[in-house]
């Protein structure tokens, strides 16, 4: 139908090589966000069920949602966005593609905040206090929240009960969109799961592939020399970590809060650095952003230039300084971070160093360290927060037990179910094979594509498929279009209009 054809049209791209618009980046300004261009016409709270999977309590909590209805013609679809790990305002502000699509379909835009994030707190301000108060934070509960909300769309949104729903989500939100289509297919007509790592589980050996994908981005969008310098720097960190004097050097060169004293501290530092580099690669947008944390345009190229300049003489000190300078393009672009707190890494963490921490300086998502790491500890063990709570990295399989031990120390009562989501929804190959009307898009720059569905895969009926996007970063296809987008992204609007006319 026209709604699904339109979503397909948004993401169908040419298979030509990446071509970037040639423009001076020295004066590139950040994109204006949707909150400014299209301020919500309604902000409401839906009383959702605290625990969807028991029958002894009817307790509810206020779950925030945001609506934009100025494109809506009463007969158009609902464009529904799955809230991610943060306040819903940030995702509203950074999901401009929905606002560019909506006028042509007369769509109603609706975004629902994820439980335990922003102000949607099932147990009020005590929600994140302990493993016990966090017990209602799960993927299953989040999917059920959306099922309940959409089942009441007529009374909440003023639409018809038969109004069709097209799902949108990026990253974790894309995972939710894909899994929702699979579990509750009757409540939507299609989904865009952008940059959704739905196939990332222990035992798959994904950590090395993830790091390799990160280096590919630095190689292809920085330089081969840059990627080699990063690899050399990481190896030097590992070597220096073997002896006390080397750990003292690491403490100084990387400005580590409290220093690097043990082998476990070195493990944490390495994960911290890798998380910063991987997240920098995934967020390699061609314009400045404040999504996650403030960064310049083309941060990979900026980081490479700083790295190569700082490490020009190839001395040990300069190589380490170059690596520190490169990762700070992501971690400390504003200069507000006084030191790097590697003690927050879950690899090798102990009760004395894992703490409930506030949001990192400049973080747009808010204080998500405790809530997201609870989700990592329970169902998404390969996706813990790193790098002062702003980054992500996939730990090695032989580090998973360390993370699980840290989880027990941090949340006391938590039990990790590392294979549960795999048992529930299968591998990426399983998921797409049985899916319908779902697009799984992945950007070329994004390391998380290694956890997505297989490259170029399609469902049995052909309505669900993988769509690789050349020259694109992490769910860049959900952001407002820009003259600086790759050629692939700039072609989408013309294809979109063609599908609308056909509909």
- Give the catalytic positions in this structure: 171, 446, 474
- Nearest CA to 284 among 340, 197, 228, 219? 219
Tokens 């699509």, residue located = 101
Q: Is 421 helix (H, G, I), strand (E, B) or coil?
A: helix
141 SS3 class: helix
Q: Quick one: 185 exposed, middle or buried, by C-beta within 10 A (0-12, 13-18, 19+)?
A: middle
Inter-residue contact 77 to 165 (CB < 8 Å)? yes
Instruction: Check if the beta carbon of residue 202 is closer than 8 Å to that of residue 419.
Output: yes
Q: How many CB atoms sit inside 10 A of residue 469's CB? A: 27
What tokens does 240 get?
A: 């220096």
Strands (E), 84-138: 108-112
89: tokens are 């305002």
Would you say 332 and 63 are in contact if contact means Cβ atoms under 8 Å apart? Answer: no
Query: Cα–Cα distance between 137 and 257 in angstroms, integer?
Result: 31
Kindly report the backbone phi and psi dihedral angles of residue 416, in degrees, each rounded to the nearest multiple of 5, phi listed first: -80, 130
Decide the pairing of beta strands 385-386 and 391-392: antiparallel
33 DSSP 8-state letter: P
Q: Kind and range of the H or E element at 35?
A: helix 34-37
Cα distance between residue 79 and residue 61, in whole Å: 24
Classify residue 178 by its DSSP letter. H
Compute the Cα dihedral for 150, 292, 100, 454 and give only its sign.
negative
Instruction: State the residue for tokens 């994004």.
Output: 446
Instruction: Name the token pair of 168.
Output: 């949108």
Residues in the chain: 503
Residue 109's region, left for phi above 0, alpha for psi from -120 to 50, else beta, is: beta
Say if residues 483 and 23 touch (Cβ distance below 8 Å). yes
Nearest to 116 by CA among 130, 105, 103: 130
- The phi, psi pair for 58, rounded to 5°, reads -110, 25
CB-based contacts of 148, cutoff 8 Å, min separation 6: 48, 49, 52
Q: Which DSSP category does 134 fall into?
A: T
């Amino acid at each position: 139908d026209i709604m699904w054809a339109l979503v397909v049209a948004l993401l169908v791209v040419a298979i030509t090589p990446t071509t970037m618009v040639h423009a001076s980046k020295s004066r590139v300004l950040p994109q204006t966000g949707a909150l400014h261009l299209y301020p919500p016409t309604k902000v409401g709270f839906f009383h959702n069920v605290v625990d969807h999977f028991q029958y002894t309590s009817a307790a509810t909590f206020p779950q925030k949602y945001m609506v934009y209805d100025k494109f809506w013609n009463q007969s158009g679809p609902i464009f529904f966005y799955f809230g991610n790990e943060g306040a819903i305002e940030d995702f509203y502000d950074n999901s401009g593609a929905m606002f560019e699509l909506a006028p042509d379909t007369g769509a109603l835009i609706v975004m629902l905040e994820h439980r335990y994030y922003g102000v949607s707190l099932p147990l009020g301000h005590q929600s994140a206090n302990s493993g016990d108060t966090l017990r209602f934070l799960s993927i299953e509960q989040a999917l059920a929240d959306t099922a309940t909300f959409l089942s009441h769309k007529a009374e909440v949104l003023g639409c018809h009960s038969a109004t069709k729903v097209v799902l949108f989500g990026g990253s974790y939100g894309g995972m939710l969109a894909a899994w929702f289509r699979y579990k509750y297919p009757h409540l939507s007509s299609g989904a865009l799961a952008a940059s959704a790592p739905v196939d990332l589980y222990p035992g798959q050996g994904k950590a090395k592939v993830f790091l390799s994908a990160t280096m590919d981005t630095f190689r292809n969008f920085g330089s081969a020399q840059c990627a080699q310098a990063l690899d050399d720097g990481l190896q030097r960190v590992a070597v220096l970590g073997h002896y006390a004097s080397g750990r003292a050097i690491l403490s100084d060169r990387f400005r580590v809060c409290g220093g690097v004293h043990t082998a476990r501290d070195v493990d944490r530092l390495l994960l911290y650095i890798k998380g910063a580099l991987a997240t920098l690669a995934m967020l390699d947008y061609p314009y400045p952003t404040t999504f996650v944390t403030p960064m310049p345009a083309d941060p990979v190229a900026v980081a490479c230039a700083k790295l190569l300049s700082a490490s020009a003489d190839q001395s040990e000190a300069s190589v380490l300084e170059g690596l520190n300078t490169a990762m700070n393009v992501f971690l400390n672009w504003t200069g507000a971070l006084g030191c790097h707190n590697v003690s927050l890494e879950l690899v090798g963490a102990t009760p004395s160093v894992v703490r409930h921490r506030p949001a990192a300086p400049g973080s747009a998502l808010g204080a998500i360290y405790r809530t997201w790491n609870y989700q990592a500890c329970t169902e998404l063990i390969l996706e813990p927060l790193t790098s002062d709570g702003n980054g992500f990295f996939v730990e090695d399989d032989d580090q998973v037990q360390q993370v699980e031990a840290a989880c027990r120390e941090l949340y006391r009562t938590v039990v990790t179910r590392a294979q549960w989501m795999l048992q529930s929804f299968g591998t990426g190959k399983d998921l797409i094979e049985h899916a319908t009307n779902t697009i799984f898009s992945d950007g070329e720059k994004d390391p998380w594509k290694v956890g997505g569905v297989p490259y170029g895969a399609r469902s049995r009926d052909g309505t669900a498929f993988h769509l690789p996007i050349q020259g694109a970063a992490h769910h860049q296809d959900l952001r407002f279009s820009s003259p600086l987008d790759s050629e692939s992204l700039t072609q989408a609007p013309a294809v979109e209009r063609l599908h609308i006319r056909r509909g």
